[in-house]
Structure 1
Amino acid sequence: MQFEKSTFTFLKDLQKNNDRDWFADHKEVYLKAQKNAKNIFSEIHKNMQMHDEIEKSKMMRIYRDVRFSTDKTPYKAHFANSYSRLGASLRGGYFLRIRPGESFLAGGFWEPSKEDLFRIRKEIEQDASEIRAILEAKEFQKHFGNQFESFSELKTAPRGFDKEHPDVDLLRKKGFIASKSFTDEQVLSENFTVEVDKSFRALRPFFNLFSDILTTNLNGESLI
């Protein structure tokens, strides 16, 4: 099972003709492309269940809510899907977006709650060696490089933390995300779902460590 070229053609055309009249005239083409994407996302979900517990797989709507967006075009010129892990002890989430020229997958903690972010920072403050080990692991670097991304960062250490702390680069982050980009050729290849699954598997040590951090106190005692 793979993405069809016609799915990419639809998305490229939508980028150039992002208006309601054009979309209405090409509704059947959209439905075919949507079905192809949904089947791929389902295949990936099935593969993930072999090595993780996924509570929910959700394909994002193509219709943009323009009330809360600076982009006022009515449609998102991509297909995207999120995968939520099961239960309070399995933290972290997966995400995949397919957009010509800008496809990527990601996983981690995009906007952790105030309490979760503080707990992660306290762990970093006390001992960041295990987190650093994740970033230095061969398999993680193969898929995601050697650093976490964040939707935003503080300019200095957060209030109450040492500005000269050796791991201040981690303390400054407001989220912890690993992401990987794909070329159009990679997305359209026969083994794309396999490559996505390999990348998601590479996130497990990261998820396992952060799940442990977020479900224990600084003494390692369980909170659940």
Structure 2
Amino acid sequence: MSLVVSKEVFSFFKKLEKNNNRDWFNEHKPEFKTIEGGVKLFYNAIFENLNKHDDIDKLKIFRIYRDVRFSKNKLPYKTHFGGSFHRTKPRLRGGYYLHLQPNNESFIATGFWEPAPADLLRIRKEFEMDDSEIREILANKKFNSVWGDSFIGDEVKSAPRGFAKDHKAIDLIKKKQYIFTKKYTDKEVLDANFLNEIDSAFKAIRPFFDYMSDVLTTDLNGVSMIE
């Protein structure tokens, strides 16, 4: 029997949304710790599944406590669970993420959230030199039936410094992030097949990850930069 996300996850966060204060949370902390324990088992099951077909060296489940030091929003607690799965560097690049939040706000995400400056420049240079392979990946029906046919994420308004505004790949070059997301309803998250659904979606991203890993471990002449 596969692991499932308990309906108590969403019901707890719905109550926390209405009572986002330390007194209420401390009173209900035992309930939260029980729910958190079940969610950690679910994330670890994803980790184990990923390592059957990928090489993941780290799972990070984010804490519920918000860092309010530099935020206008001073509510002390998050009303979602989030966890990331890191592929083993330097050979493999990219990462996976699962976000669990009520009111049909759950999603999975893959890609490159904050590429290091050197990596971002290398990606842009690759697209400037040849954008055919990445466009072939994005146009693949099996791939875009899961992840769509375009990146989401921040981008510069026109063109990064040193790149032509009228380059044929400027739509790719001006990106600052290379992310794909897939949203889920509460009903879908609570379904018994959700664990398998996540794994199937993550498997579908591999052509993109294989391509980007090759780009980010070689120079523009295709020479490996890792030992």
TM over 0.5: yes
Q: Is the 8 A contact 1:7 1:36 kept in 2?
A: no
Structure 1 position 135 matched with structure 2 position 138? yes
How do residues 108-187 of structure 1 correspond to structure 2 at under 5 angstroms?
108-150=111-153, 152-187=154-189
Q: How does 1:192-211 map to 2 (within 5 A)?
A: 192-211=194-213
Match of 1:25 in 2: 27
The letter for the 2-side match of 1:140 is F
CA displacement at 1:15 relative to structure 2: 1.2
Residues 4-62 of structure 1, C-alpha deviations (whole Å, 9 max, x = no match)? 11121001111111110110111111011101111110111111111000000111100
Task: Output the CA distance in 1 between the equivalents of 2:114 and 2:221.
Answer: 25
Q: What residue number does 2:74 align with?
A: 72
Shift of 1:71: 2.1
Supply the AA of the counterpart residue of 1:103: S
DSSP 3-state at the match of 1:162: coil
Q: Which amino acid in the other structure matches residue 39 of structure 2?
A: A
TM-score by length of 1: 0.97
Unaligned runs of 5+ in 2: none
Q: TM-score, normalised by structure 2?
A: 0.96
2:196 corresponds to 1:190: no
Q: 1:130 is aligned with what amino acid? A: E
Query: What number of residue pairs does the alignment pair up?
Result: 223
Identity %: 51
CA distance in 1, matches of 2:113, 2:7: 31
Runs of 4+ in 1 over 6 A off after TM superposition: none
Structure 1 residue 70: Cα displacement:
3.0
| Contact in 2 for aligned 1:81/1:95 (Cα 8 Å) | yes
What's the secondary structure of 1:66's corresponding residue? coil
Q: Once the 2 structures are TM-superposed, how far is the Cα of residue 219 of structure 1 from its aligned partner?
A: 1.1
Q: Which amino acid aligns with 2:28?
A: H
| Residue identity in the other structure for 2:144 | Q
Q: Aligned letter for 1:136?
A: A
Q: Which residue of 2 aligns with 1:4?
A: 6
Q: What's the secondary structure of 1:94's corresponding residue?
A: strand
Give the whole-Å Cα distance in 2 for the aligned partners of 1:173 and 1:87: 23
Q: Do the aligned partners of 1:11 and 1:78 also contact (CA within 8 Å) in 2?
A: yes
Aligned position for 2:18: 16
Q: Secondary structure at the match of 1:82?
A: strand
Find out whether 1:51 has 2:20 as its counterpart: no
Instruction: Say which SS state the counterpart of residue 109 (structure 2) adopts.
Output: strand
- Checking the alignment, whether the CA contact within 8 Å between 1:60 and 1:80 is kept in structure 2 is yes
Deviations 1:62-97 (A, max 9, x none): 011111333211000011111011120100111111
